[in-house]
Amino acid sequence: MKYFYIFIFYSTFLYSTSFNFELKAIKLSNNSYYFYGKEEYFSVKNGGDISNTAFIITKNSVILIDTGSSYEYGEEVKKKIKQITNKPIKYVINTHHHPDHFLGNNAFSNSEIFSTEFTKNEIAKNGDLYIANLNNLVQGAMNGTKIKVPNEILKSNELNLDGYKLKLFYLDGHTKSDLVIYDENTKILYAADLVFNKRTLATPHANIPDWIKSLEKLKKINYKILVPGHGKIDRTKNAINEDIAYLHYLDNTLKNSARNGFDIFEILARPIPKEFESFTMFKEEFERSIINLYPKYEKRRMKN
């Protein structure tokens, strides 16, 4: 009897620590949905729910695009999808190696998990460091999170999953490998973190010129709905142009500041340009970008 009560205690404790993300599947078309991630930085309060994930229901299966920041997030995604369809989540696609997009992988251990080779290698190499970092930032919501490396490497420009075809674009700029998925059946473009819709762009691994080139390529795709990695969906086709404008602004600000010998504090004291006042997290992400990127611009200026 003693062990029975101990079992009940620990079962209750484990249940009570499950994080409730309160996810809602937002319908995009007859067979396509996305979960909108909060436009915030990682915190105990949001449990790491800061990026978008999406799914497509095919004739016999479900294709999931990205898995969020943790095992618990992935488990809640599974429950929400099951409320819509009983078809199995047979396929998962990781768009890139940032932790808010793949750390839910181990909730889908029975699925085929696709990514580029670069993304797979980065997950294998740095995944445990990401978990340790997020354990500090979001704490309990990381329960059960373990590294699950993709087991299928993408190489072709088309993916045929149970007869459902998707177009793939291998781009870069936000990271060294950014996968974009285009569903011609619904004309929905899953742009991952190459596009942030009215949410200031995050640049920890950015190459700004390459990012702008990738966005120029995305503009040529005949999509009706764009699902960004962060921010709400875009039906107006403005999001890409706004992101290009922001990247040019960031690049020019850094170049001019290095040319004039400004320090980081002088750059951060600049007012927010009117065209970006509607962007969420401008102050936080602009500051992160300046701290991450400015030393390279200063070094380049000193060489010239």
Residue 34 pLDDT > 90:
yes
Per-residue pLDDT tens over the stretch 253-284: 999 999 999 999 999 999 999 999 999 999 99
pLDDT over threshold 90, residue 11: no
C-alpha 116/C-alpha 122 separation (Å) is: 10
Give percent above pLDDT 90 in the chain.
Answer: 92
pLDDT tens, position by position, 220-232: 999 999 999 999 9
CA-derived radius of gyration, the chain: 20
Q: Which of 32-41, 174-183, 201-210, 293-302 has the lowest mean pLDDT?
A: 293-302
Q: Which residues of 4-37 are buried (b: 16+ CB within 10 A; e: fewer)?
A: eeeeeeeeeeeeeeebebebebeebeebbbbbbb
pLDDT at 302: 79
pLDDT at 301: 79
Q: How many CB atoms lie within 10 A of CB 131?
A: 18
Give the pair of three-digit tokens for residue 98: 């940032």
Mean pLDDT over 250-255 rounds to 97
**Average pLDDT estimate for 166-190:** 98
Q: Say which residue, 45 or 3, is predicted with more confidence.
A: 45
Contacts of range 253-257, beta carbons closer than 8 Å, 24 or more positions apart: 254/290, 254/293, 254/294, 254/297, 255/297, 257/294, 257/297
Residue 150: closest CA among 64, 49, 32, 31: 64
pLDDT at position 194 over 60? yes
What's the CA gap between 292 and 159, in Å, rounded?
36
In degrees, rounded to 5, the angle at the alpha carbon of residue 274 between the alpha carbons of residues 272 and 276 is 70
Burial class (CB in 10 A: 0-12, 13-18, 19+), 170: middle
pLDDT given at position 17: 59
pTM check: above 0.85? yes
